[in-house]
Amino acid sequence: MEPKRQRLNRRGLLGAAGGAAALGAVGAGAAALGRGSDETEPAAAPATTVPFHGAHQAGITDDAPSQAVLLALDVNDDVDADRLAAVMRLLSDDAARLTQGEAALADADPELAAEPALLTVTFGFGLDLLDRLGLSVPAGAGPLPAFSVDRLEDAWSGGDLLIQVCGEGDLALSHAIRMLVKDSRSFAGVRWAQRGFRQRPAGGGTPRNVLGQIDGTSNPDPGSADGGEAIWFGPEAGALAGGTVMAVRRMRTGLDRWDRLDAVGKDRVIGRRIADGAPLTGEAEDDPVDLDAREDSGLPVIPTNAHVRRAIEAGETILRRSYNYDDGPGPDGESDTGLVFIAYQADIGQFIAIQEHLAEADLLNDYAVPIGSAVFVLPPGCEEGGWIGQGLFA
Ligand code: HEM
């Protein structure tokens, strides 16, 4: 059966106002930029804030800005649910302030908070922590099985509390992280930190990843009923409805190996053209992927093990919002690059189905290896005066 799918590019994400409060501000900023070309109307300043409060947490369906830092904290063993609730109140309050350009409560350098540059802060809880504190784990969340392609390193895996910070300003990000880590220092230690970047093409459109591929073309539309269902926990999740489960996979890319492929080889690995992101069966990036198309020879145009074919044939939908990393080169000149691959879904089974299908046979497996893995339950957003995770502790 043909899986239900929607296609949405970055323009589409900006326009899909339904659901995420955050989209309003980002969309308004983009629209204001567009109006700037009309000389009769003075250009409104682009938005620099993304609302913190809303039905869903910010930093999930809003247009991904250029920088991200993911922090996974390990919560001290003596911390109970009441203490965690108190910390979440503090963290949420400071995150709300910082994302709106206000200083955190105990901010030693309040000036650094003045320009948030589309800063978002998103919180999530590791499954072990929820278990340990007797807090409810929604049915859609669960651990990942071991995949045959995994080469996981502890240094990039697991964690009790996720703090995802995204934005356009390096200084705003650095300041926000400093404040939030300060808030949490007495109850948790940093397990890992992963920094990622994306570069928007000057003319707009979908960014490229470190392998040079146009990455992020096909994603569900969060504003549609099907898209929303694919991303957010439904009413059966009770107080967690409107939340989501996040998979973070650190994928190391073998660039030296990748460099040995010519353009045709690279196209075939993905099933889309490296030049313009169009499927091998189409002309433009947004053209549908035709898995049935055949060459005169009878062979499929999109190879049997091409990444997009394997991903589509798994029959599930996830929201991908990944970042690149580059921690190299090392002393030997070897690159250390890859993707901080991030997927949000209503049920971790959606991710597992795709990852299993890719692990079985995906030409990309020769060039990208999972070296880190973590799953977090992201509660819904909160209203002003509330805090993230409140429903969990009720
Ligand atoms: C370094 C690792 C990876 C790279 C470089 C990569 C790259 C790409 C590229 C270039 C595309 C085509 C353009 C697009 O639609 O965005 C794509 C599509 C896709 N990828 Fe990946 N990917 C990686 C890992 C993964 C993983 C781990 C999963 C899930 C387990 C995944 C799931 C998908 C899905 C669902 C699509 C959309 C297929 C469609 O509907 O056309 N990818 N990926």
Question: DSSP labels for 49-70?
Answer: B--S-SSS-SSSSSPP-SEEEE
pLDDT exceeds cutoff 80 at 37: no
Q: Is 289 left (phi over 0), alpha (psi -120 to 50) or beta?
A: beta
Residues 6+ apart with CB under 8 A from 32: 43, 44, 45, 46, 47
Residue 210 Cβ inside 6 Å of ligand 1? The answer reads no
CA of 78 to the centre of ligand 1 (A): 40
Residue 250 Cβ inside 6 Å of ligand 1? The answer reads no
Give the per-residue pLDDT at 18: 33
Q: For the segment 245-293, what is each residue's pLDDT rounded down to a tens digit?
A: 999 999 999 898 999 999 999 999 999 999 999 999 999 999 999 999 9
Give 334's pLDDT tier (boundaries 50, 70, 90): confident
- Residue 210 CA: nearest ligand 1 atom is 5
DSSP line for 107-175: -S-GGGGS--SSBEEEEEEEHHHHHHTTPPPPTT--PPPPPTT----GGGS--SEEEEEEES-HHHHHH
Nearest residue (CA) to ligand 1, atom 38? 308
Give 189's pLDDT tier (boundaries 50, 70, 90): very high
pLDDT exceeds cutoff 50 at 179: yes
Give 31's pLDDT tier (boundaries 50, 70, 90): very low
What's the average model confidence in pLDDT over 327-352?
Answer: 95
Give the per-residue pLDDT at 133: 96
Residue 206 Cβ inside 6 Å of ligand 1? The answer reads no
* Cα 42 from Cα 46, distance rounded (Å): 12
Residue 194 Cβ inside 6 Å of ligand 1? The answer reads no
CA of 154 to the centre of ligand 1 (A): 24
Cβ burial 266-303 (10 Å sphere, 16+ → b, else e): bbbbbbbbbeebbbbbbeebbeebebeeeeeeeebbbb
Whether the Cβ atoms of residue 243 and residue 232 lie closer than 8 Å to each other:
yes
Residue 217 Cβ inside 6 Å of ligand 1? The answer reads yes
Instruction: Give the residue, out of 219, 307, 335, with the most ligand 1 atoms within 8 A of its beta carbon, to mutate for a pocket test.
Output: 307
pLDDT exceeds cutoff 90 at 49: yes
Nearest residue (CA) to ligand 1, atom 8? 215
Residue 216 Cβ inside 6 Å of ligand 1? The answer reads yes
Higher-pLDDT residue of 330, 359: 359
Higher-pLDDT residue of 351, 26: 351
* Cα 133 from Cα 8, distance rounded (Å): 39
User: Is 256 noted as a catalytic residue in this protein?
Assistant: no
- Residue 7 CA: nearest ligand 1 atom is 40
Predicted model pTM: 0.91
- Residue 206 CA: nearest ligand 1 atom is 16
What torsion, rounded to 10 degrees, do the Cα atoms 361, 277, 204, 286 define? -100
Residue 307 Cβ inside 6 Å of ligand 1? The answer reads yes
Residues 6+ apart with CB under 8 A from 378: 57, 60, 122, 123, 124, 162, 243, 244, 245, 246, 344
pLDDT exceeds cutoff 50 at 14: no
pLDDT exceeds cutoff 80 at 7: no
* Cα 122 from Cα 103, distance rounded (Å): 18
Give the per-residue pLDDT at 102: 97
Give the per-residue pLDDT at 330: 87
Nearest residue (CA) to ligand 1, atom 31? 311
CA of 311 to the centre of ligand 1 (A): 7
* Cα 58 from Cα 199, distance rounded (Å): 20
Which tokens hold the place of 388? Answer: 């993230």
- Residue 368 CA: nearest ligand 1 atom is 1
Set 63, 94, 107, 215: catalytic member: 215
What's the average model confidence in pLDDT over 160-166?
Answer: 98
Residue 219 Cβ inside 6 Å of ligand 1? The answer reads no
Give 40's pLDDT tier (boundaries 50, 70, 90): low
Nearest residue (CA) to ligand 1, atom 24? 341
What's the average model confidence in pLDDT over 8-29?
Answer: 36
* Cα 243 from Cα 138, distance rounded (Å): 10
* Cα 172 from Cα 167, distance rounded (Å): 8
Question: Checking DSSP bridges between strand 323-326 and strand 368-378, what pairing results, if any?
Answer: unpaired
Give the per-residue pLDDT at 293: 98
Give the per-residue pLDDT at 39: 53
Instruction: Give the residue, out of 219, 320, 347, 367, with the most ligand 1 atoms within 8 A of its beta carbon, to mutate for a pocket test.
Output: 320
Give 126's pLDDT tier (boundaries 50, 70, 90): very high
Share of the chain above pLDDT 70, in %: 89
Give the per-residue pLDDT at 333: 87
* Residues recorded for the chain: 394
* Cα 324 from Cα 130, distance rounded (Å): 29
Give 124's pLDDT tier (boundaries 50, 70, 90): very high
* Cα 203 from Cα 373, distance rounded (Å): 34
CA of 219 to the centre of ligand 1 (A): 10
Give 15's pLDDT tier (boundaries 50, 70, 90): very low
Give the per-residue pLDDT at 2: 34
- Residue 272 CA: nearest ligand 1 atom is 12
* Cα 295 from Cα 283, distance rounded (Å): 16
Cβ burial 13-45 (10 Å sphere, 16+ → b, else e): bbebeebbbbbebbbebbeeeeeeeeeeeeeee
Range with the poorest average pLDDT among 36-40, 72-76, 96-100, 294-298: 36-40
pLDDT exceeds cutoff 50 at 11: no
Q: How far is CA 205 from CA 27, 311, 347, 352, in A?
A: 14, 22, 29, 29
